[in-house]
């Protein structure tokens, strides 16, 4: 079982988490979204402002945050440019979720490309530093494995989270592996001399 307090403490310690794989198509034009990176931007929870937090939250209680999320598109992982969005995020105790917590993400900047999503935490493993989120799209359950920043690698094994992924989304026909080492390329570590101008133009 996980609580908003546990997630908050982990976000403060790690700074962010990355999507490692997902069970569904999520494309911008013809290119799949990859390198989805979620960071805690600002806490707006009254519970935190009053410094009143418990590991056990009363049923129906909710805590709100602002998350800053970025992603790249497949084929452009090597480039530093990202697509960015801010979400108002509300956590709520949820006995129907496998790990006892749900999360609603509402886009703050209304661009027409962003939609609200409701997630359930189905699995949480503090040893492997990963967790499983699910959401619904029509009659389809969609699964996402996320890993904390400090342990996010392309070859991360995450056996228990991947087992939970298969259990929650057993009919998935194609798994999208969304994290590579190039996901960490930013404007500060980007090697401008290693690319051609024609390559850059396709990723702007």
Contact 33, 27 (CB under 8 A): yes
Domain tally for the chain?
1
Q: Return the bridge partners of 93, or none.
A: 101
Residue 84 three-state SS: strand
CATH number at residue 167: 2.40.128.20
Query: CA 18, 164, 138, 87: dihedral to nearest 10 degrees?
Result: -30
Q: What is the pLDDT of residue 113?
A: 75
pLDDT category of residue 190 using cuts at 50, 70 and 90: confident
**Mean pLDDT score of the chain:** 87
Render 57-72 in DSSP notation, one character per residue. PPTT-EEEEEEEEEEE
pLDDT digits (tens, 9 = 90+) for 16-26: 999 999 999 99
Q: Is the pLDDT of residue 58 over 60?
A: no
In sequence order, the 6+-apart residues with CB closer than 8 A to the CB of 154 are 179, 180, 181
pLDDT digits (tens, 9 = 90+) for 83-108: 999 999 999 999 999 999 999 999 99
Arithmetic mean of pLDDT, 62-69: 86
Contact 101, 134 (CB under 8 A): no
pLDDT category of residue 54 using cuts at 50, 70 and 90: very low
Q: What is the pLDDT of residue 63?
A: 74
Alpha carbon 35 to its chain centroid, in Å, reads 9
> How far lies 157's CA from each of 11, 66, 131, 143, 166, in Å?
21, 30, 13, 17, 14
Render 20-70 in DSSP notation, one character per residue. EEESS--EETTEEEEEEEEEEEEE--HHHHTT---SSPPTT-EEEEEEEEE
pLDDT digits (tens, 9 = 90+) for 105-154: 999 987 767 889 999 999 999 999 999 999 999 899 999 999 999 999 99
* Long-range contacts of residues 9-15, Cβ cutoff 8 Å, at least 24 apart: 10/148, 11/40, 12/40, 14/148, 14/149, 14/150, 15/39, 15/40, 15/149
- Which residue range(s) make up the domain with 30? 4-201
Q: What percent of the chain has a predicted confidence (pLDDT) above 70?
A: 84
């Amino acid at each position: 079982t996980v609580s908003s307090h546990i997630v908050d403490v982990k976000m403060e310690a790690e700074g962010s988490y990355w999507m490692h794989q997902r069970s569904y198509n999520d494309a911008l034009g013809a290119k799949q979204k990859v390198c989805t990176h979620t960071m805690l931007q600002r806490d707006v929870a009254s519970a935190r402002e009053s410094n009143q937090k418990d590991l056990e939250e009363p049923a129906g209680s909710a805590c709100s945050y602002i998350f800053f999320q970025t992603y790249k598109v497949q084929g452009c992982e090597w480039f530093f440019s990202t697509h960015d969005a801010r979400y108002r995020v509300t956590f709520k105790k949820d006995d129907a979720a496998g790990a006892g917590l749900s999360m609603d993400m509402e886009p703050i900047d209304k661009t027409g490309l962003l939609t609200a999503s409701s997630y359930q935490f189905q699995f949480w493993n503090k040893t492997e530093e990963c967790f499983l989120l699910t959401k619904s799209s029509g009659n389809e359950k969609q699964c996402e494995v996320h890993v904390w920043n400090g342990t996010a690698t392309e070859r991360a094994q995450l056996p228990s989270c991947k087992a939970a992924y298969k259990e929650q989304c057993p009919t998935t026909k194609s798994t999208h592996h969304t994290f590579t080492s190039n996901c960490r390329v930013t404007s500060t570590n980007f090697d401008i001399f290693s690319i051609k101008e024609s390559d850059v133009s396709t990723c702007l």
